[in-house]
Amino acid sequence: MINLLAVSVGNTRTRVGSFVDGKLLEVSTFRNDRREKIGSAIDAAYAPLTDRADASILLSTVDPERGEQVEKAIKEQLGRDVLRVERDMPIPVGRQLDREAMVGEDRLLNTAAAFDKHKQSCVIVDAGTAMTIDLVDGAGTFHGGAITPGAQLMLDSLGQRAAQLPEIELRKPEEVVGHNTAEAMLSGVFYGMRGMVREVVEQIATSINQFPLVIATGGDAQVLFRDCEIVERVVPDLTLWGLAVTLRTALEQAEDHGSGS
């Protein structure tokens, strides 16, 4: 069974979770600009693993510089080595991409977790700073997908670039027709994001001749997609589950190699 401190460093937030005997127990999230939160988040997540001699620490990052900072902080705090996906162990998902393509580790981890769980073609919508809409096929191969600014980034851009528009935080609008500027902005972004996901998913379904399972994750997924008909599941911790799948696969392969099979 997997015993793991899983750390996912995103563009805006870092998510930390502990897996004990394969079950996700503790999850902490902090903004990357709140570096003082790292220590308490690591302590809280690592506490259930303190007595687990086989516990591993596995980190992924979409920001190499910040990932190095978090890795260093964990090493100093816990006195433990930190493994990195792709550097120390590959993410177990096939890839059909252009040769020069660079793909965020979070996208690969999400698709690895989704395919490991469902064993079918899936589209994963990751609603974070950017929103990605990615396809993993029925053979477990990642094909890439679409990238767009995230919902909060859209709102921030409106507030910063248009003189008479306010800066507001994402939430579900009270009604479709906004009767004030803030509600109109929320309606445009909220329903625009949902409509964009629907269109991309329908185009993907046409291209692969079947309708995939649609899973949403990321910091804004609950707000945007919890009652969206096209999204069948919202899994906030999908990237952490991808880290667990990565470690489990590596351990299974090492065991098979050791047994000579």
Q: Which residues are the active-site residues? A: 106
What are the C-alpha distances in Å from 135 to residues 78, 111, 127, 171, 194? 37, 8, 15, 27, 17
Q: Which two tokens stand for residue 248?
A: 């489990």
Q: Which two tokens stand for residue 148?
A: 């767009």
Q: Which two tokens stand for residue 215?
A: 């899973």
Instruction: In whole angstroms, give the CA distance from residue 117 to residue 217.
Output: 15
What are the C-alpha distances in Å from 240 to residues 59, 133, 208, 214, 221? 9, 18, 28, 18, 15
- CB count within 10 Å of CB 192 equals 13
Residue 111, classified by CB atoms within 10 Å of its CB into exposed (0-12), middle (13-18) or buried (19+), is buried
- CB count within 10 Å of CB 163 equals 4
